[in-house]
């Protein structure tokens, strides 16, 4: 059974005046839970349920995305605004970086270490005894009050590093005075422009840019199939971060991301910014990296992330990918795929070639096409999962071809029956839904080999 979501929502957006800082707005009865996590990750409180991440290394968008993944893993609802998504996608590049031989990840590591030193100083954990100029560089000596270890610091802002350590404050000061006696000054060096800007971003938060007024809404617990779509991109990123046997490829236009298993026989295609009624996810399995596909599954843009999460969890298990191709789908396979629906007493009906299971409330269903199942060599939509006002006006649709593993379909059925999620409901009673057309979407083809694209 899918665990309950925490009653908290975190909205991440760009800072109104600081170029790279990020603000987090918290709502919900359990907002204190993500509040504690963000504070522990270096976010500063500027008002009730309002936090700011302002760093001297300009990597706020990267660490904001990292925080979003952690919150989502803890079952917290997270929203990332389009402005912030753009910053995350492009990242921060230092002009004339003095260590050009470093990779992007190595630069980020150097900057993160400099950020830790800066935070230790401003929080009073590292006491700076003196500073000096060494040519064009700022140097300093200080002692960690928690451990008693003394350090010799070189550089400033995102380039500050620990250049040497000493067993006592006396030894550190003697060595520092021997090297820099002529320019040595007591206490820390004056704040840099970057430090002043960062401090201002943490303490003087102007009102965010005005946006069109949104109707007030309340959050309600609903079955997983009726939940809000959530953040599909963050869901895929979290999946890839947790499973190193998958490789990520993104097209040059950044419109589509492909995730390919190391076996080259299972592939995910994610179309970003796909409309709610169009295919946003395609999953396909192959017998070999160059063979025809065994089965294919698609899902539209409005599919709840809880449903997609169940799908991704099954893919991570690695079972049932290589189901034999050729034999028709039999009664045993259909029963196995829909057993959770039968156990939950979903309404069952047979109408010619169609076998249907419908929720007691009539707001979700599963349909099996017996005719399509008899043509295993074709990628026909044999299974159709839907939710919404009715099968002719669905909010979202998931389709699957004949040889989609029964265990995967059973997991989806279990999620439909027992999964619980959240949905924002407007006072007037009009939930944000985008009905689809009566016909299920066409299943797009998936390339038989990895696309020619760049790694992200």
For residue range 81-101, list pLDDT tens digits in order.
998 988 888 776 766 677 888
What radius of gyration do the chain's Cα atoms show? 27
Instruction: Read off the pLDDT of residues 354-409 as tens digits, 9 standing for 90 and up.
Output: 999 999 999 999 999 988 888 766 667 899 999 998 888 899 999 999 889 999 99
Can you say how many angstroms the Cα of residue 174 is from the centroid of all Cα atoms in its chain? 50
Instruction: Please choose, from the candidates 446, 400, 449, the residue with its C-alpha nearest in 3D space to the C-alpha of residue 288.
Output: 449
CB–CB of 53/25 below 8 Å?
no
- pLDDT tens readout for residues 190-238: 999 889 989 988 876 654 444 555 555 567 788 999 999 989 999 998 8
DSSP 343-397: HTT-EEEEETTEEEEE-TTSSEEEEEEHHHHT-TTS----EEEEESSBTTB-SEE
Please state, as a whole number, how many other Cβ atoms lie within 10 Å of the Cβ of residue 448: 15
* Domain chopping of the chain, boundaries: 9-92, 104-192, 223-455
**Are 415 and 310 contacting, i.e. CB atoms less than 8 angstroms apart?**
yes
| Band of pLDDT at residue 335, cut at 50, 70 and 90 | very high
- C-alpha distances (whole Å) from 198 to each of 15, 67, 204, 299 are 11, 19, 10, 43
What distance in Å separates the CA atoms of residue 67 and residue 250, rounded to the nearest whole number? 22
| Mean predicted lDDT score pLDDT of the chain | 84
Q: What is the C-alpha to C-alpha distance for residues 456 and 449, in angstroms, rounded to an integer? A: 18
- At 437 the pLDDT is 38
Task: Give the global pTM.
Answer: 0.50
**Of 158, 161, 141, 154, which Cα lies nearest the Cα of 193?**
158
CA distance 379 to 446: 11
């Amino acid at each position: 059974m899918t665990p309950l979501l925490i009653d908290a929502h975190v909205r991440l957006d760009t800072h109104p005046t600081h170029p790279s800082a990020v603000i987090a707005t918290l709502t919900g009865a359990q907002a204190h839970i993500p509040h504690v996590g963000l504070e522990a990750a270096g976010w500063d409180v500027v008002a009730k349920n309002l936090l700011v991440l302002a760093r001297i290394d300009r990597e706020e968008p990267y660490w904001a995305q990292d925080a979003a993944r952690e919150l989502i893993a803890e079952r917290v609802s997270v929203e990332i605004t389009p402005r912030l998504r753009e910053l995350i996608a492009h990242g921060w590049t230092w002009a004339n970086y003095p260590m050009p031989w470093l990779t992007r990840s190595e630069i980020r590591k150097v900057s993160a270490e400099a950020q830790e030193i800066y935070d230790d100083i401003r929080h009073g954990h590292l006491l700076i005894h003196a500073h000096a100029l060494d040519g064009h560089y700022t140097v300093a000596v200080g002692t960690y009050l928690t451990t008693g270890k003394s350090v010799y610091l070189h550089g400033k802002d995102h380039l500050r590093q620990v250049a040497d350590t000493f067993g006592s404050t006396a030894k550190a000061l003697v060595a520092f005075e021997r090297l820099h006696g002529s320019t040595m000054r007591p206490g820390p060096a004056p704040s840099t422009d970057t430090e002043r800007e960062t401090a201002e971003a943490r303490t003087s938060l102007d009102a965010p840019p005005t946006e069109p007024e949104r109707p007030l809404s309340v959050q309600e617990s609903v079955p997983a199939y009726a939940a809000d779509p959530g953040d599909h991109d963050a869901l895929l990123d979290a999946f890839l971060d947790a499973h190193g046997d998958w490789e990520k490829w993104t097209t040059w236009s950044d419109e589509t991301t492909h995730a390919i298993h190391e076996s080259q026989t299972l592939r995910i295609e994610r179309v970003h910014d796909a409309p709610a009624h169009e295919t946003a996810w395609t999953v396909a399995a192959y017998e070999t990296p160059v063979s025809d596909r065994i089965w294919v599954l698609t899902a539209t843009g409005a599919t709840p992330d809880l449903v997609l999460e169940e799908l991704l969890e099954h893919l991570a298990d690695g079972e049932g990918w290589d189901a034999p191709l050729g034999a028709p789908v039999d009664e045993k396979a259909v029963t196995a795929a829909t057993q959770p629906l039968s156990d939950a007493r979903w309404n069952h009906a047979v109408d010619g070639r169609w076998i249907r299971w419908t929720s007691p409330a009539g707001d979700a269903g599963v349909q099996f096409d017996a005719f399509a199942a008899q043509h295993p060599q074709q990628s026909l939509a044999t299974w159709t999962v839907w939710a919404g006002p009715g099968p002719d006006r669905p909010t979202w649709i998931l389709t699957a071809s004949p040889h989609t593993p029964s265990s995967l379909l059973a997991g989806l059925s279990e999620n439909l029956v027992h999964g619980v999620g959240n949905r924002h409901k407007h006072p007037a009673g009009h939930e944000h839904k985008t009905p689809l057309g009566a016909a299920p979407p066409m299943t797009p083809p998936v390339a038989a080999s990895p696309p020619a694209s760049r790694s992200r």
